[in-house]
Chain A
Amino acid sequence: MHRGHEISADTYSYLSALREWNTTYKVAFSVGALVTVIAADSVGVSAVTLLFMLFLSVGVGKIPARDYFRLMKIPLAFILLGGAAITAQFGSGADSLFRTRFFLTNLYVTQSSLTLGIHVTLKAFSAVSALYLMTLSTPMGEIISVFRKIRVPVLILELMHLIYRYIFILSETNQRQKDSAGSRLGYCDLKTSFRTFSGELANLLVLSMKKAETYYDAMEARGYEGNALFWEETKPLTAGQLLYAGLYLALLLGTFCLIGRRG
């Protein structure tokens, strides 16, 4: 059966060679790098992080490079548009690199706005790559276990576990709805497509409400009394894993030294 590529991060998280890494360590590493990138706000740190995360996810984690770059393209539209809005300026436009009349005002690009635009774009890609270190190697259940460790209320954790499972059930149901509607020419033209699409969603809501009741009964039949317990694997933290964080820190330190000497 053909599946949407939408949930592919989840698939990779089960395939990645980094899956055996200690979960808390992995999440801390990824979030730490993320915070470093946005707090340092420097081109050097962004570039180092981007390359190091590529090395970790593709080199060590064995995510196919083509898939990795395809995933990096997801935020492309937002990053490019946002970058354009930051780079382009309106107004009188004194000492600009490029200037053109734009309706009643001028559209122009200055040296500093161009630098800022490129800088922000690089920073965003770098942050996304740090996020991917976690999402492409850690299944959702394990990420939720980290939330439990930082004392997120049990009710929220339970909702997260259930929502995560139901997402797959609902999107599979919707895929079947789409296939059957498509085979009955439900998407032959735009007007019909709209009717089919909204009908599908309305029907999906009805189905999901029905399922919700069935699932509650199923949970109760298995002894659910208002507190769902989920199994968590314990994964040991090894010296080999720590080595990578050490390497990253050393690279960062090196970058800071270089920046310090130049500044």
Chain B
Amino acid sequence: MTTKQKKWIASLAVLSVIVGITPNAYAMHIMEGYLAPRYCIAWGVLCIPFLVTGYLSINKKLKENRKNITLLAMAGAFIFVISSLKIPSVTGSCSHMTGTGLGAILFGPTAVSILGIIVLLFQAILLAHGGLTTLGANTFSMAIAGPLLSYGIFLLCKKLKVNRYVGIFLAAFLGDLFTYCVTSFQLAIAYPSAEGGVMASVGKFLGVFAPTQLPLAVLEGILTVLIMIALKTYATPELNMLKLNMEEK
């Protein structure tokens, strides 16, 4: 065997191990116990302004119409359920949607921040995905950064008169990718490389999770578009109701 062949075999082995051991690829929840206390606190504190904004906006919506409470709760349960469903896939491995893009488009990013932290807490308690100490970090990446970017892209595409479904695809796809980048960054500053520091470490975490997260982001984009098409066809009145009740004014 030449050195070149050896190198290829080594890389293939690494790749197959990475692909092989992820039979259950959830969105990237940082596990319990993975972050040192100061990072847990720092990320939690960073979430507070967004959560307060979310709380105030939800409170306002409820003052306007008390009926929104069940609507909001249903929206939260809906986000939980879509993020726990297995996406049909070729390889037999099961992956799950994050639902951040869809949630942000349907319910607006401020409501999603509060619903998101509740959903993440339930995922930690009921499904053991994520954790209590890493709740702040996970909330920041999945309930704040991802949805905000998704919603921004959705609005931008609307303004630029891009095709509606291309806009939805981009919003969901990039929102998912952004969540994954933020999580990798969060892990990297907690565990910087000996050589090259934080940036090298970001590269490592991005690389390790890429085989599951990249296809997942594309799938998420496609599925979100399909769901929005189905909603447009069958549920225009409900969509309008959501817009009326939830969207930012």
Contact = CB atoms under 8 A, between A and B. Distances in A.
Contacts of A202: 227-228, 230-231, 234-235
A82 interface: yes
A91 B196 contact: yes
B187 A85 contact: yes
A74 B18 CA distance: 16
Contact of B131 (A80, A91, A131, A213): A131
Given A127-B32, A158-B69, A216-B69, A163 B119 contact: yes
Nearest to A81: B208
Interface in A138-169: 140, 143, 153, 155-156, 158-160, 162-164, 166-167, 169
Contacts of A132: 128
B70 A78 contact: no
B126 A198 contact: no
Interface string B64-87: 001101111111111011101101
Interface in B73-116: 73-78, 80-82, 84-85, 87-90, 106, 114-115
A79 B58 CA distance: 36
A115 interface: no
Interface residues of B, number: 90
A201 B178 CA distance: 24
Interface in A69-91: 71, 74-82, 84-86, 88-91
Most chain A C-beta atoms within 10 Å of own C-beta, residue among B22, B71, B81: B81
B133 to A, nearest CB: 6
B234 A203 contact: yes
A203 B231 CA distance: 8
A91 B3 contact: no
A206 B203 CA distance: 41
A163 B128 contact: no
Most chain A C-beta atoms within 10 Å of own C-beta, residue among B30, B33, B119: B33
Contacts of A206: 231, 234-235, 238
Contacts of B24: 74, 77
A48 B142 CA distance: 33
6 contacts: A74-B127, A75-B31, A101-B3, A128-B131, A159-B69, A202-B227
Interface of B: 3, 7, 10-11, 18, 21-26, 28-37, 40, 55, 58-59, 62, 66-67, 69-78, 80-82, 84-85, 87-90, 106, 114-115, 118-119, 121-122, 124-129, 131-133, 187, 191, 193-196, 200-201, 203-205, 207-209, 222-223, 226-231, 234-235, 238, 241-242
Interface of A: 4, 6-7, 9-10, 31, 34-35, 37-39, 41, 71, 74-82, 84-86, 88-93, 100-103, 110, 112-113, 116, 120, 123-128, 130-132, 134-135, 140, 143, 153, 155-156, 158-160, 162-164, 166-167, 169-171, 174, 187, 190, 193-199, 201-206, 208-213, 215-216, 219, 226
